[in-house]
Amino acid sequence: MADLALLAARFGARLRAEGLPVGPERSARFASAVALTRPGAVTDLYWCGLATLVADPGEIAVYDRVFQLVFGDLADPARPHPSDPPFRAGSEPAPTADNGPRRSGTTASVAGAKTGDTPPPPAGEPDPESPYPALAAAAERLASRDFASLSSDELARLVAAMRALRLATPPRRSRRYEPGPRGRRIDLRTTLRQAQRSGGYPIRLARHRLRLRPRRLVVLCDISGSMEPYARALLQLVYCAVAAGGPRTEVFTFATRLTRLTRVLARVPPEVALARAGRAAPDWSGGTRIGEALKTFIERYGSRGLARGAVLLIISDGWETGDAALLAEQMARLSRLAYRIVWANPRTASPDYEPLVAGMAAAWPYCDTVVSAHSLSAVDELIEALRAR
The tens digit of pLDDT for each residue in 170-179 reads 998 887 877 8
Domain positions in the chain are 4-143, 173-213, 217-387
Q: Can you name the residues that pair with 210 across neighbouring β-strands?
A: 177
Give the pLDDT band (50/70/90) at residue 325: very high
Inter-residue contact 216 to 169 (CB < 8 Å): yes
281-298 mean pLDDT: 87
Name 46's Cβ contacts closer than 8 Å, sequence gap at least 6: 67, 71, 82
- The torsion of the CA quartet 188, 191, 195, 200, rounded to 10 degrees, works out to -20
pTM of the model: 0.61
Could you read off the pLDDT of 9-49 as tens digits, one per residue?
888 888 888 888 888 878 888 888 888 888 878 888 888 88
Q: Give me the pLDDT at residue 332, please.
A: 96
Pairing state between β 369-371 and 207-214: unpaired
Q: Please list, residue by residue across 131-164, b when 16 or more beta carbons sit within 10 angstroms of its beta carbon and e when fewer do.
A: ebbbbbbbbbbbeeeebeebeeebbbbbbbbbbb
Task: Kindly indicate the confidence band of residue 293, based on its pLDDT and cuts at 50, 70 and 90.
Answer: very high
Q: What is the pLDDT of residue 137?
A: 54
Phi, psi at 259, each rounded to 5°: -130, 130
**What's CA 215's distance to the chain center, in Å?**
20
Instruction: Please give the Cα distance from 242 to 233 (Å, whole number).
Output: 14
CATH topology assigned to domain 217-387: Rossmann fold (3.40.50)
More confident residue, 108 or 318: 318
What is the per-residue pLDDT for 246?
73
Give one DSSP letter per residue of 297-347, joined into a string: HHHHTGGGTTSTT-EEEEE-----SS-HHHHHHHHHHHHHH-SEEEEE-GG
Cα–Cα distance between 296 and 252 in angstroms, integer? 11
- Please report, for residues 21, 129, 242, 256, 369, the alpha-carbon distance to residue 38 in angstroms, rounded to integers and kept in the order given: 25, 10, 32, 51, 43
Closest listed residue to residue 339, CA positions, set 388, 379, 290: 388
Residue 188 has pLDDT above 60, yes or no: yes
Can you tell me the distance from the alpha carbon of 110 to that of 51, in angstroms, rounded to the nearest whole number?
14
